[in-house]
Amino acid sequence: MSETHAALTLFDVDFQAMGTRCTISLYAQSSEHARSLSEAVITDVARLESKYSRYLPDSLLNEINSVANAGGAITVDEETAALLDYAQSCYVESDGLFDITSGLLRRAWNFQPEGQTELPDPDVLAALLQRVGWDKLDWEAPLLIFDTPGMELDFGGVVKEYAADRAAALLKGAGVDHALINLGGDICVTGPRIGGDPWRVAISDPSNPESPLRLVDLSHGALASSGSYARCIEIEGIKYGHLLNPRTGFPFVGTAAATVLADQCVVAGSLATIAMLKAPDALQFLEQMALPFLVVDQNGAIVDRLIH
């Protein structure tokens, strides 16, 4: 990028992590300097991916899930305990709809392009639902006990946002007060641009994800979005998104996308997801949270409570 202040230029440092494109935008003396300033963040995001990815066989998450599958107990480290505490608070805040044990339900659905064309077998869903529910496990840090064999955890709803918050903290700790971190749409800033201007952040249009629906000014804090448009299938004329109801095993219908601004990305992301899960009560829930937000329903109607 071309913006220059004194001896500093604004650079974008791109990298791949957590299955998505990531970018750190920051001011530096050269591209090499920008990369050097970003290295600790890139390393930390990779660490979190290797620790909590369900796709990596050696991850801590898969170690936890092998215990969960057998039915047993495992002692976890402080960082994992903090994530579990947060997941528990989201479960309570959402009346049980935000549930990190619900990943099992994906086994009944295929949201890939050219995915399934028929609804899942009710018996298959019923069997999976028997093993879903935060209330089916016992959690008292640092001990996690799975009383019901065959369960599974998935940190996908919190770990990328947590990584964005850590990235901002690492950069701030290194004296980088004017940076933007974008981990696949989960965005945190360490402060405004040099000179005080805000960063301009685009919110995707659910009906055309490649084009921006709104541009938001961001000088502090974080922004995160949740949507059903990126991964959805159509069966008998009805569109089903990938966010699944842990009570019914079926996708939620009603809200196409939600975006929330908050001081922390993990809060913005979880509130946006809970809003999706609470359809048709998304607006009421977000109004109660008293944070800036934007919601798009399945018919394309927009409720904009962002700060412009």
Count of domains forming the chain:
1
Distance CA 79, CA 173 (A): 19
Task: Tell me if 79 is assigned to some domain.
Answer: yes
3-state SS, residue 193: coil
Task: Tell me if 75 is assigned to some domain.
Answer: yes
- What is the CATH number for 110? 1.10.3980.10
179, 171 contact by CB (below 8 A): yes
Task: Tell me if 87 is assigned to some domain.
Answer: yes
Instruction: Please report the pLDDT score of residue 43 as a whole number.
Output: 98
Instruction: Please report the pLDDT score of residue 110 as a whole number.
Output: 87
Instruction: Please report the pLDDT score of residue 14 as a whole number.
Output: 98
213, 204 contact by CB (below 8 A): yes
Q: Residues 13, 271, 160, 103: is their CA dihedral positive or negative? A: negative
Give whole-number Cα distances, 189 to 132, 152, 238, in Å.
Answer: 36, 33, 38
DSSP string, 50-117: HHH-SS-TTSHHHHHHHHHHH--EEE--HHHHHHHHHHHHHHHHTTT-S-TTGGGGGGG---STT--S
Range of the domain at 110: 60-146
Buried b (16+ CB within 10 A) or exposed e, 172-190: eeeebebbbbbbebbbbbb
Task: Tell me if 108 is assigned to some domain.
Answer: yes
75, 178 contact by CB (below 8 A): no
Which amino acid is located at 276 in the chain? M
Task: Tell me if 290 is assigned to some domain.
Answer: no
Record the tokens describing residue 33, joined without a space: 């300097």
Q: ∠28-30-35 over CA atoms, to 5°?
A: 75
218, 259 contact by CB (below 8 A): no
258, 268 contact by CB (below 8 A): no
Would you report the helix, strand and coil content of the chain in percent, each value rounded to 5? 35, 30, 35
Per-residue pLDDT of the chain (308 residues; tens, 9 = 90+): 335 556 799 999 999 999 999 999 999 999 999 999 999 999 999 999 999 999 999 999 999 999 999 999 999 999 999 999 999 999 999 999 999 999 999 999 988 777 788 899 999 999 999 999 999 999 999 999 999 999 999 999 999 999 999 999 999 999 999 999 999 999 999 999 999 999 999 998 887 778 899 999 999 999 999 987 666 788 887 778 888 999 999 988 778 899 999 999 999 999 999 999 998 899 999 999 999 999 998 888 999 999 75
Of the candidates 306, 249, 303, the residue with the CA atom closest to the CA atom of residue 280: 303
Distance CA 255, CA 283 (A): 10
Instruction: Please report the pLDDT score of residue 283 as a whole number.
Output: 93
Distance CA 178, CA 190 (A): 6
Backbone angles phi, psi at 141, to 5 degrees: -45, 135
Task: Tell me if 257 is assigned to some domain.
Answer: no
**What would you measure as the largest C-alpha separation in the chain, in angstroms?**
66
Task: Tell me if 159 is assigned to some domain.
Answer: no
Task: Tell me if 136 is assigned to some domain.
Answer: yes
